[in-house]
């Protein structure tokens, strides 16, 4: 992530949610619906892949911290880092008790093996492809042995996702990467037990729709996906 990205997101810190909402208005769903889907997926992965009941978590590229209120009771110590100081200021105002820190877009400001769970939620498409491997390597570095690295990204094969990205002001230079590409990056860095699942396939906020979507998580048509691996 470069100085350009820092300046870009500094400029959107006070209306980030509104800009995202405008890009997905055609779906008829609020931004919160999509954030809740991500939180639910993380809850499932924690239950399935981690021994820690309330893991210590790092959110890389956390922005204004929109996801963090949904993680209460799910994780223990929660930290977030971002290249945008203005976004972090907003996150601190909205979320007390979270450890927010700036970083240079390359090296995370934490020691090796500091967290049980390290996530990057819709961040890697802002990283230039030449730096994807380094980004994954940093995620793995700060993850404890047996901990989980999880990347949540837009699915480039979903036409509605591509429409939302095209409509989003700060995604104009985004380079979308598939679940297969992300899994390969994780494998190349030595992560184990690598997997992925797609979600946000059905645009209905009902229990039957959510159960059906869970059954179809292996179908690579969902609007977003999570790729994950064990450190």
- How many structural domains are present in the chain? 1
Would you write out the chain's pLDDT as a tens digit for each of its 231 residues?
555 555 555 544 555 555 455 555 555 667 778 899 999 999 999 999 998 889 999 999 999 999 999 999 999 999 999 999 999 999 999 999 999 999 998 899 999 999 999 999 999 999 999 999 999 999 999 999 999 999 999 999 988 888 888 877 667 788 999 999 999 999 999 999 999 999 987 665 666 666 666 666 666 788 899 999 999
Nearest to 84 by CA among 6, 171, 169, 16: 6
Q: Which two tokens stand for residue 86?
A: 């203005």
pTM of the model: 0.86
Contacts of 149 (CB under 8 A, 6+ apart): 118, 136, 139, 140, 143, 186, 191, 228, 229, 230, 231
| Residue 10, domain CATH | 3.40.50.150
Expressed in angstroms, the distance from the first to the final Cα of the chain is: 24
3-class DSSP state for residue 19? helix
Helix, strand, coil % in the chain, rounded to nearest 5: 45, 20, 35
Please give the residue range of the domain that contains residue 24.
1-228
């Amino acid at each position: 992530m470069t100085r350009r990205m820092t300046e870009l997101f500094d400029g959107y810190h006070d209306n980030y949610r509104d800009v995202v909402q405008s890009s997905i208005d055609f779906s008829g769903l609020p931004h919160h619906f999509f954030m809740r889907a991500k939180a639910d997926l993380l809850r499932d992965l924690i239950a399935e892949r981690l021994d820690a009941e309330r893991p210590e978590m790092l959110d890389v590229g956390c922005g204004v911290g929109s996801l963090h209120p949904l993680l209460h009771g799910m994780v223990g110590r929660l930290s977030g880092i971002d290249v945008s100081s203005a976004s972090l200021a907003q996150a601190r105002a909205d979320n007390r008790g979270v450890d927010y820190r700036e970083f240079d877009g390359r090296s995370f400001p934490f020691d090796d093996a500091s967290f049980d769970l390290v996530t990057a939620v819709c961040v890697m498409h802002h990283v230039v492809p030449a730096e994807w491997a380094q980004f994954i390597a940093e995620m793995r570095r700060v993850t404890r042995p047996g901990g989980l690295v999880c990347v949540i990204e837009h699915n480039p094969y979903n036409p509605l996702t591509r429409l939302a990205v095209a409509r989003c002001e700060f995604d104009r230079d985004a380079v979308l990467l598939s679940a297969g590409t992300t899994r390969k990056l994780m494998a190349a860095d030595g992560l184990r037990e690598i997997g992925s699942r797609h979600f946000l396939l059905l645009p209905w906020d009902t229990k039957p729709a959510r159960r059906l979507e869970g059954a179809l998580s292996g179908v690579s048509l969902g609007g977003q996906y999570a790729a994950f691996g064990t450190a």
